[in-house]
Amino acid sequence: MSIRDAIEAVERTSSSRVVLPDSKEYDEIIESYFSELERELKPACFLTPRSSLEVAEIVKAVKPFKSLKGKVAICGAG
C-alpha cells in the first residue's frame, strides 16, 4: 500500500475533489499559503471537500491506509 493507492481510493469516491501536482489548481493552493516556508511544502495532493458528507467519505476511503506513516494536514476556510 502506498500514498498513491490512498489517493486513488479517494479519487474513486470524489475525484473532482482531488487536486494533484502539476495542475493549475494545485499551484493556486500552494500560492495561497501565508509564508514562504509553507510554500516550500509539496504535498502529494490536496483534498478539497465541500461538505461534511464529502469529508466523511474521504476519511472512510483513507482509513485502510492509516499504517502508511504519512502526514495529513487540515486547512479550513472558516
Which pLDDT tens digit goes with each residue over 47-60? Answer: 888 888 888 888 89
For 4, what's the count of Cα atoms within 13 Å in the CB-facing half-sphere? Answer: 1
For residue 1, give the C-alpha cell. Answer: 500500500
Q: Report helix, strand or coil for 18.
A: strand
Give start and end residues of each alpha helix (H) in 1-78. Answer: 3-14, 24-31, 36-39, 52-62
3-state secondary structure of 1: coil
Asked if 45 and 73 count as a contact pair (C-beta separation under 8 A), the reply is no
Bridge partners of 77, per DSSP, are: none
User: Per-residue pLDDT for 76 more than 80?
Assistant: no
Q: Where are the domains of the chain?
A: 3-68
Q: pLDDT tens-digit profile of 11-48?
A: 898 777 899 999 999 888 888 876 777 777 788 888 88
- Note the pLDDT of residue 78: 52
Q: What residues form DSSP beta bridges with 37?
A: none
Model's pTM, two decimal places? 0.77
